[in-house]
Structure 1
Amino acid sequence: MATTYPESADPDVNSTDKRKSSLWAAKLYLDYPIWNGNFTIGTQDSYTHTRLDYHMLNNLIGEYIPSSLTDTKQTSAALFASWSRMFGKFSLSAGARYEYVDYDFKTDGKRDKDVSRRDHMLTPDISLGYTFNNDAQISLSYKMSTVKPPYSRLTGSLNYVGQHEIEGGNPSLRDERMHDIRLFGMWKDFILQGDLTRSLDTYAYIKELYPANSLQLLMHPVNIDVTALSLYLVWSKPVGCWTPNVTAGLYRQWLTLDNTSHNKPIFSYYFDNTFSLPHGWSITANMNGQTEGDMHTNRFGATWMSIDASVVKTFLNRSLTVRLSATDIFNTANNDWTMNTCGVFVDKKQSYDRRGIALSLIYRFQPRKSAYKGVPASEAELKRL
């Protein structure tokens, strides 16, 4: 990576980084009937090794952003079990997961005792549902889960962004413990879903002053505790050839950091429209938007209306599909946000011209379905990498 300043006498800032990751994972489980229900028991295990070799090639910048070699190893072994059964119109599901994690973190070949740790985690979940009829049902569930941060957030190296900007990870980030209470209800053409979550040691980004000879701002993640409520109401019903799908949503969090509240709610909507026409034609017109509001330490700007559309035509008994689509037709999407943390206020105005036209042709040669019926043994670890 090279950062240059053509209009000044400041020297170029060059750096290199090389990341190598490997993952071994296995999953074994058994399903069998017991007590008129279905019982599942199994184990899920993984070994992850990721290594980042970062070199700062500018000696002046290297005084406060040094080169570093970070090496992370994690061994995880988990046991899980669940049981589910129908009691007439009632449904019950209960389970638990125990996980042992050995996390080893080294910087420049030296083990960091403050960051390396061994954890034992037990996470239960339970769900109870009731079906009134084919058009109405309701369920209430509780789940406790552990969410591990991505490995890119756990690095100890710092990255040069500009004359006064540094970005980095935080190897001391702890795993998040999330408690989630979910209410789900369906009645005819309406669906309601509400989630109340209490996240302990989730992470959010902050900007703060970094000790150096010149003014430097460091953006990096830190652990926070936050409570959040999300509500979504969905309505969909075919009307002739038109199938509308309307979603209204609310996200509201409770977070106070350094005596600053980040509690402004976000209201959002999605209005999707599909028109199924004769002779294999179909048209979609989808729009969405949201108000200004807080999510963790960011206050995101409003996007009142963003519109995508497409026209689809099938040929040869639906073997050939031709799709012409357009994205963000009126160029209204943005990525505006502000951040007010540790006495540092950042106001970012960013617009992308996402307008585009795509033409796709798909032909199906009677594909044979895969005989493999499993799932990745450690999909969460893959996402972290």
Structure 2
Amino acid sequence: RRTTNDPAHRLNAYYNGTVGRLGIDFNVDFYTSGSTSRSHAVETSRMQEDRVVNSENRVRNRLAASKLILSYPVFGGELSVGGEYVRTHRTDVYSNPERIVPSSDMTADEWNSSLFAEYARETPIGQFGVGLRYEHVRSDYLSDGRPLDGLNRSYNQWFPNVSFGTRVKGVDLQLAYTAKTQRPSYRQLTSNVYYANRLTLQTGNPLLKPTLTHDVSLTASWRIMQLTASYRQERDAVIDRTERSRIDPKVSLITYTNLDRLPLLTAFATVTPTFGVWTPQLSAGFVKQWAEVEIDGKPVRYDRPIFRISLNNSLRLPAGLLFMLDVRYRSKGDERNLYLTDDVWVVNMGLTRSFFSDRLSVMLRGWDVFRGEGGGAIYRSPHMESYQVDRYDSQEFELTLRYRFNAAKSKYKGTGAGTGELERL
């Protein structure tokens, strides 16, 4: 399988300034991108005929977005109001010349309009913040040029947020509550059917609902240490689901569905000391979920925690050299409705040297030096249990030479618009 990415183009125009006491932040963005994936599979079988399967998937994205934020001092604090508009167009064409799976042409159009307001004020006991966001989203889907019945829909939702920050005996504390939505990616929403192998097909689910997240977090900072804990409740979380093909029961169709409720608890501690020329940053924590999925009429729990540790090091050496060594660890545990079966260690390192008053920099980087990225996962579904092992071609060595013709600091102050939608694309 080989994927070729077209050049992505992003144009941003902005105005950032003041008129009297009124602050103005206005951004307009245009974005285009595309990719073409080609797959060539040669299958041999003792029980069935050998065959060759070719497929091509062409995706094109187009986005236009604008965002305006006005801020003004009110009652000793600052009031910010604004709006954002995002328009997205995406085409997703899949073809299989052998006609083992049907070729298809999916078009998605989405309009997202939002209004928001926030107010923040410093008081003798701390800083309070409160905000409210309203979103109206409309989406249309076409399959082979025809509207998909029941899939053109609209949402009207409100999302509040509240925060309070203070300092107690040298410890900075921040307590916050946020409600937000995460819409499924366009790949998760597609109705195209993709060929994986003789016994497996993949598709999206245009009936997926957006995930609504309620998050309560507490952050404490003291000198070189920081502790963060959060409890998150996801409504209509997106998980994997496998169904039997209606045409051939031996063939599995991997798709997506919504899980009614997914609570998660996250806690991390970070310390960043300095020992002369050596500055390490150690972070350790865990993510624990309480997920329950019904399989073959019985509830199956996924609640084993996943532990994560990262150690990032920078060491200043003689002759202006800077050495970097980063180590990342992830344990076994449950993630959504998957059980991750392997402990994963990843090591990255780098060496940097600057010349000519920092105008020229030379950087040598090694990514996943010991080929630790990957691991296995067990997935259970009705009448089936699958075990998949992934080994990624993630070991890379990279040499970068960068020369700054104008060393002046950038004066760019654009904040961009439609950033959340760009991630979905």
TM-score (normalizing by structure 2): 0.84
SS of the residue corresponding to residue 51 of structure 2 reads coil
- In structure 2, the partner of 1:308 is 348
Distance of 2:325 and 2:53 partners within structure 1:
46
1:74 maps to a residue whose letter is E
Gaps of 5+ in 2: 1-37
**Which whole-Å CA distance do the structure 1 matches of 2:407 and 2:91 have between them?**
40
Shift of 1:131: 1.9
CA deviation map 1:223-273 (0-9, x unaligned): 112111111100111111111211111000010111111111001111122
Q: Are the aligned partners of 2:327 and 2:347 in contact in 1 as well (CA < 8 Å)?
A: yes
Provide the rounded CA distance (Å) in 2 between the counterparts of 1:51 and 1:58: 22
- C-alpha distance in structure 2 between counterparts of 1:136 and 1:223, whole Å: 40
| Cross-structure match for 1:123 | 159
One of 179, 198, 202 as aligned partner of 2:214: 179
2:317 is aligned with 1:277:
yes
Corresponding residue number in structure 2 for 1:84? 120
What is the CA–CA distance in structure 2 between the aligned matches of 1:183 and 1:189, rounded to whole Å? 17
CA–CA separation in structure 1 for the residues paired with 2:399 and 2:121: 48
One-letter identity of the residue aligned with 1:310: G
Instruction: Name the amino acid aligned to 1:69.
Output: D
Alpha-carbon distance in structure 2 between the residues aligned to 1:267 and 1:305: 12
Show the counterpart of 2:61: 21
- Cα shift at 1:13: 2.6
Counterpart-to-counterpart distance in 2, 1:372 and 1:24? 20
1:100-249 mapped onto 2 (5 Å cutoff)? 100-132=136-168, 135-213=170-248, 215-224=250-259, 225-249=261-285
Aligned residues: 380
Note if contact 2:266-2:288 (Cα within 8 Å) is conserved in structure 1: yes
Give the Å deviation of 1:201. Answer: 1.1
Query: 1:153 is paired with a residue of what secondary structure?
Result: helix
Deviation at 1:338, TM superposition (A): 1.6
CA contact (8 A) 1:39 1:83 kept: yes
Task: Give the corresponding residue for 2:327.
Answer: 287
TM-superposed CA distance for 1:330, in Å, is: 3.0
Contact 1:2 1:12 in 2 (8 A): no
> Quick one: structure 1 residues 136 and 73, their matched pair in 2 at CA, closer, same or farther if it must change by over 3 Å?
same
Moved more, 203-212 or 159-168: 203-212
Partner of 1:348: 388
Output the amino acid matched with 1:187.
W
Contact 2:208 2:257 in 1 (8 A): yes
> Conserved in 2, the CA contact under 8 Å of 1:207 and 1:342?
yes
Shift of 1:193: 0.7
1:235/1:154 CA distance change after superposition, 3 Å: same
Equivalent residues of 1:69, 1:107 under 8 A apart:
yes
The equivalent of 2:28 in structure 1 is: none
Shift of 1:191: 0.2
User: How far apart in 1 are the matches of 2:105 and 2:43?
Assistant: 31
What secondary structure, in the 3-state scheme, does the structure 1 residue paired with 2:374 have? coil
Question: CA 1:73 to 1:306, structure 2 compared with 1: closer, same or farther past 3 Å?
Answer: closer
Q: C-alpha deviations, 1:326-368, integer Å up to 9, x for none?
A: 2333333323222112232111122235333332222222345
* More displaced stretch, 316-325 vs 92-101: 316-325
Between the aligned residues of both structures, percent identity stands at 26
Q: Which residue of 2 aligns with 1:12?
A: 52
CA contact (8 A) 2:344 2:375 kept: no
RMSD of the TM alignment (CA)? 2.0
> Quick one: distance in 1 between partners of 2:122 and 2:95?
59
2:420 alignment partner, SS class: helix
Query: Which amino acid in 1 is paired with 2:414?
Result: G
Q: Contact 1:206/1:339 (CA < 8 Å) preserved in 2?
A: no
Cα separation, partners in 2 of 1:357 and 1:54, compared to 1, 3 Å:
closer
Distance of aligned partners of 1:89 and 1:364 in 2 relative to their CA distance in 1, 3 Å threshold: farther
Residues 202 and 254 in structure 2, CA contact (< 8 A), matched pair in contact too: yes
- Aligned-pair distance for 1:204? 1.4
- Segments of structure 1 that go 5 or more residues without pairing to the other structure are none
1:153 Cα offset (Å) = 1.1
Residues 157 and 193 of structure 1: CA distance in aligned 2, closer, same or farther (over 3 Å): same
Partner of 1:93: helix, strand, or coil? strand
| Distance in 2, Cα, partners of 1:39 & 1:184 | 24
- Distance in structure 1 (CA, Å) of the matches to 2:224 and 2:97: 61
What is the aligned counterpart of 1:337 among 373, 377, 393?
377
CA distance in 1 between partners of 2:283 and 2:44 (Å): 50
- SS in structure 2 of the partner of residue 376 of structure 1: coil
| TM-score, normalisation: structure 1 | 0.92
Answer whether contact 1:52 1:70 (CA < 8 A) is retained: yes
Look up the SS of the partner of 2:42 in the other structure. coil
